[in-house]
Amino acid sequence: MKPSVRSLTRVLLASFLVATSVPATCQGQSTSRSMEDPKSPKLNLPDPLISNAEKRIKTAREWKARRRDELKDLFERVMYGKIPAAPEEVDVVTQLVDKRFLEGRATLKLLQLKMGPGNGPKIDVLVVVPNQRLGPAPTFVAMNFCGNHAVVSDPRVPLSKGWLYSSCKGCESGRATEASRGSQSKDWPIEELMARGYALVSFASSDIDSDRADVSDGIYAWLAELDPLFDNRPHDRGTIAAWAWGFSRVMDYVVTDRDLDPLRAAAVGHSRNGKTALLAAAFDERFALAIPHQAGCGGTAPSRGKKGESVKQINDRFPHWFNAKFKEYNEETGRLPIDQNCLVALMAPRPVLLSNAEEDTWANPEGQFDVLRGAASVYKLLGVEQSGLKKRPPIGTLLKGSLGYYVRPGKHSMTSGDWAVFMDYADAHFLKKFD
């Protein structure tokens, strides 16, 4: 689903990095098909079951009562900044319900979540639910880059009002135009989702925060305006945390819609949106499953090690995604009290699929397998034994366990083929279909 200009930027950036002779291992330039690199040093990821007081967590009870909160606190303090609290006021404005969408196969709902008090974020939400079903539909809750109007081409979907990426097709000076309608519909296979019984709930990241480095127009600016005592220092905020807040606000709606199954909702996102989907689901246990797709550094890839994008590179280029404290680890990731295996562990015992593309070495698919393995002890403690973690599965083979893993051939993008895999994975866990 990623607009082509962004992939082009990635290719150009990669060539620039090679040209400036930064060590190749840091840039993920390898094109080798080999799935394992026997020369990789061991990562020494932190053990999620050793508490801050250096005590071993031995029971599921201790994990739930103590260690989960400790880890959440660490992630907010040293990396993402705080995920703001739920707003005091939310007005759900239903703009359209069409039960005859897609020739009667689906229901289309358009609504807006208006946060208050004052002039809070307004999140446009697109809901498409299959009409043929026995009960509430299992649901993918997915944050998009280019607006709901780009996901489906129906002219009734309001054009996104937020600032949009220049790589979003048909957008001019950051604004949506009629020409941008349906520009991503090929990569969001609504018909297939409906045919397989899944609902899609989608919203645009820019309705929560427009990804500017000065964080001038998002939720944090609104909260600071409302309350002069609100802590809006760079130590306490980050755009990924802001977007994760958005996921939870949309989930607040999902649990009230009787067409959607509140117990079978999956958080989905691609790239920076994938980092967000994982953070949101790790913290908000109402999400029954998470699919962070090609999320890479700051999401599903380890901060430690020398493969793919480094902590310094991501902090230099996107300083606003993480809090100020995270910058202190640029050169010394080994000092981080957490790594991303601890974030995946916060998903336990819920299923999480780390899905990737073979050529997207910037996102470090290999290191992501280590991240999964580094979370397995927590799943085990909570009663989920996972097989298949000794060796990465071959390219194109989906590891369907609760610690799911998948690498397909190709580049960084989210395509309808990826959605087919997301549905296979969700089928395994939501419908108990393992074959």
Q: Is residue 271 annotated as a catalytic residue, yes or no?
A: yes
Q: In this structure, are residues 56 and 49 in contact, taking their beta carbons and an 8 Å threshold? A: yes
Minimum distance, C-beta of residue 394 to ligand GCU, in the bound complex (Å): 25
CB 350 to ligand GCU: min, Å: 23
267 CB neighbour count, 10 Å cutoff: 32
Please indicate whether residue 21 is annotated as part of the active site.
Answer: no
Question: Which among 269, 273, 268, 274 has a CA at the least distance from the CA of 288?
Answer: 268
Q: Which is nearer to ligand GCU, 232 or 276 (CB)?
A: 276
Residue closer to ligand GCU by CB (options 3, 84) is 3
Q: Kindly identify the residues of this chain, within the stretch 202-241, that bind ligand GCU according to CB under 6 A.
A: none
Complex with ligand GCU: residue 67 or 272, whichever CB lies closer: 272
Burial call 388-403: b when 16+ CB within 10 Å, e when fewer = ebeebbebeebbbbbb
Query: Shortest CA distance to 189 belongs to which of 417, 425, 432, 428?
Result: 417
**Alpha-carbon dihedral sign for residues 171, 172, 174, 176:** negative
Q: Assess whether the previous peptide bond of 349 is cis (omega < 30° from 0).
A: yes
Gap between the Cα atoms of 356 and 395, Å rounded: 10
Q: By the 8 A CB rule, do 418 and 411 touch?
A: no
Provide the residue type at 282 as one letter.
Answer: A
Q: Which of 272/400 has CB closer to ligand GCU?
A: 272
How far is Cα 51 from Cα 66, in angstroms, rounded to an integer?
9
Among 297, 345, 398, 421, binds ligand GCU (CB under 6 A): 297
Nearer to ligand GCU, 370 or 424 (CB): 370
| Strands lying side by side in the sheet with 403-408 | 89-100, 106-116, 122-130, 199-204, 137-144, 260-270, 289-293, 352-357, 403-408
Q: Give the shortest CB-150-to-ligand GCU separation in angstroms.
A: 16
Q: Which residue lies nearer to ligand GCU by CB, 296 or 305?
A: 296
Q: How far is the CB of 411 from ligand GCU (least distance, A)?
A: 12
Residue with tokens 């395994």: 428
Which residues, listed in sequence order, are joined to residue 143 by a DSSP beta bridge? 203
Tell me whether residue 6 or residue 196 sits nearer to ligand GCU (CB atom): 6
Cβ closer to ligand GCU: 297 or 343?
297
Chosen residue from 82, 272, 320, 373 binding ligand GCU by CB under 6 A = 272
Which residue of the set 149, 293, 412, 429 is catalytic?
412
> Other C-beta atoms within 10 Å of 429: how many?
21
Token pair recorded at residue 32? 């080798």
Residue of the chain from 261, 309, 370, 418 that contacts ligand GCU (CB under 6 A): 309
What is the SS3 assignment for 60-92?
Answer: HHHHHHHHHHHHHHHHHHHHHCCCCCCCCEEEE
Nearest distance from residue 320's CB to ligand GCU, in Å?
A: 13
Report, in Å, the least distance between residue 296 CB and ligand GCU. Answer: 5
Task: Verify binding: residue 242, ligand GCU, rule CB under 6 A.
Answer: no
Closest separation in Å from C-beta 329 to ligand GCU: 16
Binding-site member from 46, 48, 170, 296 for ligand GCU (CB under 6 A) = 296
Taking the complex as a whole, the smallest distance from the CB of residue 418 to ligand GCU amounts, in Å, to 15
CA distance 247 to 253: 10
Site string for ligand GCU, 7-36 (x = CB under 6 A): ---x--------------------------
Give least dist CB 102 to ligand GCU, A: 30
Q: What is the rounded CA–CA span in Å between residue 297 and residue 311?
A: 7
Active-site position among 248, 271, 303, 413: 271
> From CA 432, how far away is CA 345, in angstroms rounded?
22
Q: Which of 160, 271, 310, 413 binds ligand GCU (CB under 6 A)?
A: 271
Site size toward ligand GCU, by CB under 6 A: 8
Nearest residue (CB) to ligand GCU, 321 versus 425? 321
Which parts of 313-332 interact with ligand GCU (CB under 6 A)? 314
148, 176 Cβ separation under 8 angstroms: no
For residue 192, how many other CB atoms are within 10 A of its CB? 13
Beta carbons within 10 angstroms of residue 51's beta carbon: 16
**Active site members:** 271, 412
Binding site for ligand GCU (CB under 6 A): 6, 10, 271-272, 296-297, 309, 314
